[in-house]
Amino acid sequence: MSTSNSSLKSYEFRREREKSWRALEDMVRRAEKRGLKSLPAEDLLRLPTLYRATLSSLSVARAISLDQNVLNYLESLCARAYFQVYGPRASLMERIASFLRHGFPAAVRETRGPILLATLWMVLGIVIGFLLVQSNADWYYTFVGWDMAGGRTPAASTESLRNGLYDGADSAAEGLYIFATYLFSHNAGIGMFAFALGFALGIPTVLLMFYNGLTLGAFLALYDSRGLTWDLVGWLAVHGTTELTAIVLCGGGGLVLASAIIFPDRQSRMESLARRGRAAGTLIMGAVLMLFVAGLLEGFARQLVTDITARYVIGGAMLVFWLSYFALSGRGSGGRKQHLDDD
Amino acid sequence: MTDAAPPPQGAKSPGAVPTVQARARSERRILTPEGVPLIFQLAERGERAAAVMIDLVIMVIALVVFVMAIAFTLSELGISGAAIGLAILVSFLIRNFYFIFFELRWQGQTPGKRALGIRVIDRKGGYLRPGAVFSRNLLREVELFLPLTLFFGVDLSGSSGWVNFLTLGWVALCLLLPFFNKDRLRAGDLVAGTWVVSSPKALLLDDVAAGSQRDPGSIKGGSIKGGSIKGGSAKGKSAKRGGAVVLDPEFPFTRDQLEIYGIYELQTLEEVLRQRGPQSGETRREVAKRIQRKIDWAHGDAAARNDIEAELFLKAFYAALRAHLEARMLFGERRENKYAGKTGGKLGGKTGPNGNGTPPGKS
Cβ of B270 and A185 within 8 Å? no
pLDDT tens per residue, range B283-341: 888 888 788 877 777 766 555 567 777 778 888 888 888 888 888 887 777 777 777 76
Cβ of B104 and A95 within 8 Å? yes
Q: How far apart are CA B88 and CA A185, in angstroms?
A: 8
Cβ of B199 and A270 within 8 Å? no
A191 within 8 A of A246, measured Cβ to Cβ: yes
Say which of A66, A78, A185 has its CB closest to residue B267. A66
- How many helices (DSSP H) and strands (DSSP E) are in chain A? 16, 0
Query: What is the pLDDT at residue B151?
Result: 65
Query: Which amino acid is located at A38 in the chain?
Result: S
Low-confidence ranges of chain B (pLDDT < 50): 1-18, 213-245, 343-363
pLDDT band at A321 (very low <50, low <70, confident <90, very high): very high
Question: How many angstroms separate the CA of residue A278 from the nearest CA in chain B?
Answer: 5
Interface test with B, best of A21, A278, A282, A289 (most B CBs within 10 A): A278
Q: Does A1 touch chain B (CB under 8 A)?
A: yes
Helices (H), B78-129: 80-105, 111-116
Query: What is the pLDDT at residue B14?
Result: 40
Cβ within 8 Å of B, A 287-306:
288
Which residues, including other chains, have CB under 8 Å from residue A142's CB and lie 6 or more apart?
none
Cβ of A178 and B270 within 8 Å? no
Question: How many angstroms separate the CA of residue B306 from the nearest CA in chain A?
Answer: 26
Cβ of B204 and A25 within 8 Å? yes
In A, minimum Cα distance to B199 occurs at: A76
In B, minimum Cα distance to A281 occurs at: B135
pLDDT band at A322 (very low <50, low <70, confident <90, very high): very high
In B, minimum Cα distance to A270 occurs at: B190
A309 within 8 A of A238, measured Cβ to Cβ: no
Query: What is the pLDDT at residue B346?
Result: 40
Report chain A's mean pLDDT, rounded to a whole number.
82
Query: What is the pLDDT at residue A317?
Result: 93
Q: How far apart are CA B90 and CA B68, in angstroms?
A: 11
Please give the DSSP secondary-structure letter assigned to residue B144: I
Element housing A143 (H / E): helix A139-143
Among the listed residues B75, B82, B67, the one whose alpha carbon sits nearest the alpha carbon of residue A300: B82
Name chain B contacts of A14, Cβ cutoff 8 Å: 207
Q: Specify the pTM.
A: 0.75
Question: How many angstroms separate the CA of residue B160 from the nearest CA in chain A?
Answer: 15
Cβ of B82 and A193 within 8 Å? no
Distances (CA, A) of B262 to A76, B25, B318, B336: 24, 21, 11, 5
Go through A58-78 and write b for each residue having 16 or more CB atoms within 10 A of its CB, e for each that does not.
Answer: beebeeebbbbbbbbbbbbbb
Question: How many angstroms separate the CA of residue A131 from the nearest CA in chain B?
Answer: 27
Query: What is the pLDDT at residue B12?
Result: 38
Q: Does A75 touch chain B (CB under 8 A)?
A: yes
Q: What percent of chain A has a predicted confidence (pLDDT) above 70?
A: 87
CB pairs under 8 A between A and B: 240
Among the listed residues B21, B41, B17, the one whose alpha carbon sits nearest the alpha carbon of residue B116: B41
Q: How far apart are CA B259 and CA A113, in angstroms?
A: 66
Cβ of A64 and B326 within 8 Å? yes
pLDDT tens per residue, range A87-112: 776 677 888 888 888 889 998 998 88
Say which of B138, B199, B263 has its CB closest to residue A281. B138
Cβ of A69 and B205 within 8 Å? yes
Cβ of A66 and B222 within 8 Å? no
Cβ of A10 and B322 within 8 Å? yes
Say which of B81, B108, B193 has its CB closest to residue A175. B81
Q: Are strands B194-198 and B37-42 parallel, antiparallel or unpaired?
A: antiparallel
Q: Does A91 touch chain B (CB under 8 A)?
A: no
Cβ of B92 and A185 within 8 Å? yes
Cβ within 8 Å of B, A 114-153:
none
In B, minimum Cα distance to A79 occurs at: B38
Rounded to two decimals, the ipTM of the complex is 0.81
> Is it the case that residue A36 has pLDDT exceeding 50?
yes
Which residues, including other chains, have CB under 8 Å from residue B24's CB and lie 6 or more apart?
none
Residue B101 has a CB neighbour count (10 Å cut-off) of 16
Name chain B contacts of A5, Cβ cutoff 8 Å: 213, 216
Cβ of A199 and B104 within 8 Å? no
pLDDT tens per residue, range A115-128: 999 999 999 999 99
pLDDT tens per residue, range A218-270: 888 988 888 888 888 888 888 889 989 999 999 999 999 888 888 877 777 88
Question: How many angstroms separate the CA of residue A113 from the nearest CA in chain B?
Answer: 19
In B, minimum Cα distance to A257 occurs at: B191
Say which of A6, A68, A87 has its CB closest to residue B17. A68
Q: Give me the helix-helix angle, A173-196 and A269-296, nearest 10°.
A: 170
Distances (CA, A) of B24 to A63, A76, A332, B46: 18, 17, 47, 19
Question: How many angstroms separate the CA of residue B49 from the nearest CA in chain A?
Answer: 20
Cβ of B322 and A8 within 8 Å? yes
Residue A251 has a CB neighbour count (10 Å cut-off) of 30
